[in-house]
Structure formats: C-alpha cells, structure tokens
Amino acid sequence: MITHEIELINISKVFKDVVAVDDVNIQIRQGEFFSLLGPSGCGKTTTLRMIAGLETPSSGDILIEDEDVTDVPAYHRDVNTVFQDYAIFPHMNVYENIYYPLRMKKIPRKDAHNRILNVLKLVNMDGFEHRFSNQLSGGQRQRIALARALVNEPKALLLDEPLGALDFKLRIAMQSALKELQTKLSMTFVYVTHDQTEAITMSDRIAVMNNGKVHQVGTPDEIYNNPTTAFVASFIGEMNFIEGVVTKRHADILEVNALSSSLTCKCGNYDINPDETVLICIRPEKLHINAQGKQDNEIEPVLKRIIFRGNDYEVRAAIGETELRAVMDHQGLKKIGKDSESIKASWDIEDAIVFPIYMKEDLVGY
C-alpha cells in the first residue's frame, strides 16, 4: 500500500555558493492539499521545481508513489505544473491549448475529445472551446491553465503561486474554486504561496519555509496556534513579542520579569532556565483589554490608538518601547472609556508561547 504520494528525503539544492534548499524532509499524503509557504527566496518554488523535475537536487531523493524519480526527467513524471503566468499559447484557442499535452503524447484528437470537454466542464469553462487567450479574463485563463494540467490525469498537480496575478476579489473566489476542485477530484495538490491567509484557508497541511529550511509542517490550526519556532510565530498571522528574563522555574512553569511585572508562562518546547532571556509571544486576539475576570497575567499599558478595521477594532498600547496590539469587537470596545489613557491588558498562561531569545533574529517585522 502506498503511504505517501510524494516524499522528499534530505533534499538540498545549491546554486554556486547559494543554498536554496537545505536538507528538506517532507511527506505529502495522497489526496492532500499541501502548501509550501514562506517569504520570497525561502526555497519553496525551487522545492516545487525539484518535485516537477525542472530542477535536479544537489543531494537527496524524491519519491512519487514510493518510486524514486530523483533522476527521472520532467516529461516522464506523472505530475503537472501550473505557473503564475499560466503559459497559455496565444496562437491556439482554448480547445487546442488543452489538447496540446495529449497531442505530445500522440493521443488522437478523436480519443481526446471527450476528455477535453469533461475537463472544461470540471473547471466551469464548457462552451469556451473556440476562444483565444486575449478573449478571456485573468480568472478564465487561470481555469484553462488548470484544465490543461488536469487533462493528463496526473497523480499530483503542482501549483506555483497560480493566483498571484489576480485582483483581490477574484483571488478569493478562485481560492474557493480551487479547493472545491481538489476535494472533488481527491487529487494531491502541492501549492506554493507566500500568502499566509491563502495557505491557511485552503490547505490540509502546510510546510513553513525560511532560508531553505522547513521550520514546521502541520495543519493550519497547529501552525497558527502552536508555532514551533519564533519565525513561524511571526510569519503566520499577527503576534505580540515581549522580551523578558526568567527569574524562576517550577517544573514547566516559568516566572519572567518583563514590562516591569512578574509574568507566568509555560516553558513550551524548549529547555529554558533561570537568568535566560526569552521572547513571550501572544496573539492579539488572546490579549484581553479590561477583562471582567481575573487572568494569569495582567499589565497596565498606555493606550495609544484604536483602529477601526471593518469587522473589529485593533487596540494599540505600549509599556515603554514595547508596543502591544489587541483585537476587540464592538461590544468589547465599550469596556474602554473615551478618555482612557491607562488600560488593563491580560492573558491566560495557556495563551502565550515562549521562545529562547536567540530566535529573535528570525522574526518577521519585529
């Protein structure tokens, strides 16, 4: 029984003196929507290109359905790739564009006809057979690129930021369409993006990458609520970072001197001891302003600004040089008086994550 659709074992890629991908190990399950997520230059596209056979690993092995394809050329791998620019041939109509990969396999047009019509229906583009690319919108061109990749009935579809050229509303609509398509086909999708929201809303699991390394692989919930490195904590969603020094440790509970207060934290995944400097991380939605009940940690920052964001409000406050952000709904905002300067910010011990201070250098936007 095949356990994984795609498996990367100790994969590295070096371009001259640049290590683009550094000892990556990933297992992608059959029928999974799996995303490679990270900032520009993190190695995610190079990783995808190695799966596709468009780049050769400097070291390591690539398996597709348990078969080693590390040295197999791209045209012999049972995967297809959709790129950001779609690569639709402008001199061919929609029908000919979709037929092209089948023609390369020397499949007669009469045998390919029903497959082409079926895949057009699958991407909701039936009736567009005779149009050319200049007669299609961006979203329609993207659907044709998908249809051309799917007509080969590959084991896996590889997508390299395919929605990057679309405007915001169309991109949101296509995210939903892509996920529905993947679910309907039960096909393995490997999706490259730098957009964290895109990855979280579409993926079954995500590999978060930076500087050629995989920092964490997990479900969107695991990645967001239990980041294993400070980079993941800072790259996925918004996060408050507080520096402090550990004063005591009792089992897995730390007492940390920070923001002129003694804060209580869980030790987490790292062995942290007294006198070590740490980063305390708290999501803005976990930071409560003027909460009614008693919580494990309370501080009194100075209110700086309240920003209306449509569905909610962002409250910005500070203690010294440390700025804190909280998210509140309309009802919560009533807890802050109009003339408030000092407010109470609080959180429970379960809602904070602690990392060693050396991880500070990996933070995004800190």
Question: Is the Cβ–Cβ distance between 313 and 284 less than 8 Å?
Answer: no
Question: Is the Cβ–Cβ distance between 266 and 349 less than 8 Å?
Answer: yes
Distance of CA 179 to the CA centre of its chain: 14
| CB-neighbour burial class of residue 104 (10 A; exposed 0-12, middle 13-18, buried 19+) | exposed
Query: Which of the two residues, 335 and 298, has the higher pLDDT score?
Result: 298
Each residue of 296-325: pLDDT tens digit? 999 999 999 999 999 999 999 999 999 999
Give the pairing type, strands 277-282 and 33-37. unpaired
* pLDDT at site 13: 98
Each residue of 120-162: pLDDT tens digit? 998 889 899 999 989 998 888 888 989 999 998 899 999 999 8
pTM (2 decimals)? 0.91
Residue 339 binned pLDDT confidence (cut-offs 50, 70, 90): low
Nearest to 280 by CA among 345, 332, 211: 345
What gap in Å lies between CA 116 and CA 119, rounded to an integer? 5
- pLDDT above 80: residue 294: yes
Percentages of the chain per state (helix, strand, coil), in multiples of 5: 30, 35, 35
* pLDDT at site 69: 97
- pLDDT above 70: residue 338: no
* pLDDT at site 61: 98
Buried b (16+ CB within 10 A) or exposed e, 65-103: beeebbeeeeeebebbbbbbebebeeeebbbbbbbebbe
Q: Which domains does the chain have, with CATH numbers?
A: 6-233 (3.40.50.300), 241-362 (2.40.50.100)
Section 76-87 average pLDDT: 86
What gap in Å lies between CA 359 and CA 268, rounded to an integer? 14
* pLDDT at site 44: 97
Each residue of 166-194: pLDDT tens digit? 888 888 888 998 999 999 999 999 999 99
Helix (H, G, I), strand (E, B) or coil at 1: coil
What gap in Å lies between CA 327 and CA 286, rounded to an integer? 8
Section 232-242 average pLDDT: 95
- pLDDT above 80: residue 3: no
The single residue listed with the structure tokens 């990645």 is 223
